[in-house]
Amino acid sequence: MARQLKHATGGNTFGLSFIDLVSGGFGASFFLFLIFVMLPIDAGGQVSGGSNFLDVWLQWQEEDVELEVVIEYQAKDNGPKSLYRLTGRSFFKNGGTERWSYSSVKNSPFWSSFSAAGFSEFGEKRLSRKSNTRSQNFGNWMRFSNPCPGTYSIKINAHTQELTRLWNNAEPTEVSTVVKVIHANGGSAPSFLETRAVLMVPQIDRPDDRPALMFDGNPKLLFTKDNSKPEAYLHCGPGF
């Protein structure tokens, strides 16, 4: 009855009471809590999560040569340059599991895991395929997962056996090669590079870590560190 009387006598129904102010304060606090508690979850979800790898393909068409990729890696400016080649003495392949391992007193691996195809201790030391034009292509492939920051150069080496060299009278062979490089750092779009070159390949093999024939892939590849993924560089050692 008192309430009806107040309305009837024209009381201010839009006036704020003390309980209105307290209620509004609690409501505003609740909303601010909701907003600032949930925002960091969104920031944590911005993980790129993509693959971080360096793919190198080497392809050619001449049948009587066997080529391989040699990676030259320089971790820091003015630092030492290391050469990596699969037919050297540091790479081993387990024939049962088809997994590669690397062991060297001079160099340390710049990758966390490694895959390759087209290399063999005996037999065919390359991959082969028939293209649409029925011509035969040869090649080999390497993939380095999580490559460390630094400067990379792609080089090509011949590794034909000595017996072949004698059989062919050591005549150099002109070879057209294609080097394809795919680099993905997991965060941005991968980059695709392709370099073509004509090489005069001597029929000779040098079974050590220093290639006989060096071809500088141009341009050189410069990989920088992605600071959002420090766990991807744990294998690179101190300083990365």
Partner 1 sequence: MMDENDPLQMSFSDALTCVFGAAIALFLIFVVLVKFAPATPYATTGLQAGSELSRAVQREAGGKSSVIIQAYSEARGNKCVSTTSSARRLAVTSQDEWEIWDGVWQEHNGDGLKTTCVRLFTLAEGLRAPVTLVANEGGLGDLLHIQVQVGAIVWPSVDDRRYSYRLQPKPGSLSILVIDPTSRDNTVRVAEGL
Please tell me whether residue 8 binds partner 1 under the rule CB under 8 A: no
Q: How far is the CB of 49 from partner 1 (least distance, A)?
A: 4
User: By the 8 A CB rule, do 103 and 88 touch?
Assistant: no
Specify the pairing of strand 136-145 against strand 113-117: antiparallel
Q: How far is the CB of 4 from partner 1 (least distance, A)?
A: 10
Cα separation, 233 vs 238, in Å, equals 9
Task: Give the residue among 147, 128, 148 at the shortest CA–CA distance from 138.
Answer: 128
Nearer to partner 1, 82 or 109 (CB): 109
Q: How far is the CB of 191 from partner 1 (least distance, A)?
A: 9
Nearer to partner 1, 194 or 216 (CB): 194
Within residues 98-137, the interface with partner 1 by CB under 8 A covers 98, 113, 115, 117-124, 126-129
User: By the 8 A CB rule, do 146 and 111 touch?
Assistant: yes
User: By the 8 A CB rule, do 211 and 67 touch?
Assistant: no
Residue matched to tokens 């993509």: 50
User: Which residues in this chain contact partner 1 in the complex, by CB under 8 A?
Assistant: 2-3, 6, 13-14, 17-20, 23, 27, 31, 34-35, 38-39, 41-42, 44-53, 55, 57, 93, 95, 98, 113, 115, 117-124, 126-129, 139, 141, 143, 145, 180, 182, 184, 186-190, 192, 232
